[in-house]
Structure 1
Amino acid sequence: MATTQQLTATLTLSSGATETVTSTATWVSSTPAVATVSTGGLVTAVAVGTTTVTATAQGKSGTCTVTVTDPAQGMAVSPGTAALTVS
């Protein structure tokens, strides 16, 4: 599982055209203790939890919900052995 994720901010103009504003948008994480976001939209996991990342450009905002999970360390299968009979 990745510890970072690059986000992209895209404005939809009144003409219907789109404009990528990732590098010029203002990025904010509502809970930086869970995940931080760089000025270029790169989100970095810090601790388990959920936060909202907001990008703002030209007076418009968009959000992304970021969930940071605790990675699995191993797996067990039970029972360890099984005896079956063909009928």
Structure 2
Amino acid sequence: MISSQELTHIVEMAFLPKRCTCIIDPAGSMTVQIFNQNTDKEELTFAGIDASNLTAGRAIANLVLGLREEMRLWHLQPEQRQCRRA
């Protein structure tokens, strides 16, 4: 079993050179925040991730790949983001 500290470190390092913070609350819910590397402003936040399933390297890699894909899609649709905020 991987510790929460190890898990957060692995996830945070996976997004370098962007700054990433990963927090796991006592209930096992993970929040990952990604920051713009030019402005250091929060770019995306993924909340409510069930950390109890992230016990092996493959599960962690799949999470990171999924979050990276969400980031890629988010960057492709800037006009839709503006519409949602209005």
The structure in which a higher percent of residues are helix is 2
TM-score, structure 1 as length reference = 0.31
- TM-score w.r.t. length of structure 2: 0.31
